[in-house]
Amino acid sequence: MTAKPTPAPVLVLDGVAIGHDPATVLARDVSFTLEPGGIVCLMGPNGIGKTTLLRTVLGLIPPLAGRVLVDGLDVAAASASAIARAVAHVPQAFLGDPGHTVFDVVLMGRTGRLGLFAVPGREDRRAASDALEALGLSDLAARRVDRISGGQRQLMLIARALAQDTPVVVMDEPTASLDLGNRWALVDRIRVAAADGRALIVSTHEPEQAFEFADRVAVLGHDRRLAVGPVDEILTAERLAALYRTDVRLETTACGRRVVVRADAEIRRLDRERGRR
């Protein structure tokens, strides 16, 4: 039986350096590719440069070295509308006009597909409606953004990215404000998006999410280098301990899930600290 050819990557980072100026380089020699249907979890401590890396992929910040290709486009030279047709963004928070309705915000995901002065058509409105339904938000479509919860706003941003219908989706800590049920629903939605052929980069502080749904993990560490590879190979207890500067161990639950817990020595240290108070 002839093996299926590996699909061409829709995201390529080749020797990229990230930062806001040459005097403040946050990471160097960042290189990896992402194929259609692939999921990469981006991890690292606060302030290390994860959001800057994502903004570089989105063309919002030019790379200080190397190049970023999204669906064949060099984002440093492509127009904003071309980038919007190639990569969608789920930010950590909604920063738009809170007077818009939920449907209007999701419909804005279609902007990159419209010509100058064009108005959304039937296909655009259907894409927005389908995305709202997929996230369980259809009942909130007519509600103003300032009348919904923070978790519902986050789901709305994800729906906007789905309506954008791009080959690459970048999610910056998408589960941070979600309750448990919606967090699990989002994990299911990420899997469906990948099964539909989208490539996803998901920034997270939760190693369990990487174990649960990612194909690979990309870890930006204190050495300002990116380690990329299979989740089980990269997310060792030793690496996690160095990354977050706390002793941990990895355990496997009865149902086979990998979880991260504090190491016994760390628990004893905390107990001693409590005893001194």
Interval 44-63: pLDDT, tens: 988 888 999 999 999 999 99
pLDDT band at 179 (very low <50, low <70, confident <90, very high): confident
Residue ranges of E strands in the chain: 11-19, 25-34, 39-43, 65-70, 73-74, 87-90, 168-172, 199-203, 216-220, 226-230, 248-252, 258-262
pLDDT band at 183 (very low <50, low <70, confident <90, very high): confident
Whether 28 shows a pLDDT value over 70: the answer reads yes
pLDDT band at 182 (very low <50, low <70, confident <90, very high): confident
User: Do the Cβ atoms of 202 and 214 come closer than 8 Å?
Assistant: yes
User: Do the Cβ atoms of 47 and 243 come closer than 8 Å?
Assistant: no
pLDDT band at 142 (very low <50, low <70, confident <90, very high): very high
Whether 5 shows a pLDDT value over 80: the answer reads no
d(CA 58, CA 74): 11
- Residue appearing with tokens 């709202």: 132
Which range, of 78-87, 114-123, 172-181, 188-197, averages the lowest pLDDT?
Answer: 114-123
Helix/strand/coil for 69: strand
Residues whose CB is less than 8 angstroms from the CB of residue 186 and which lie 6 or more positions away in sequence, other chains included: 155, 158, 174, 175, 178
What does the pLDDT look like over 148-159, one tens digit per residue? 988 889 899 999
Over range 262-267, report the average pLDDT. 67
Which range, of 48-62, 73-87, 95-109, 169-183, averages the lowest pLDDT?
Answer: 169-183
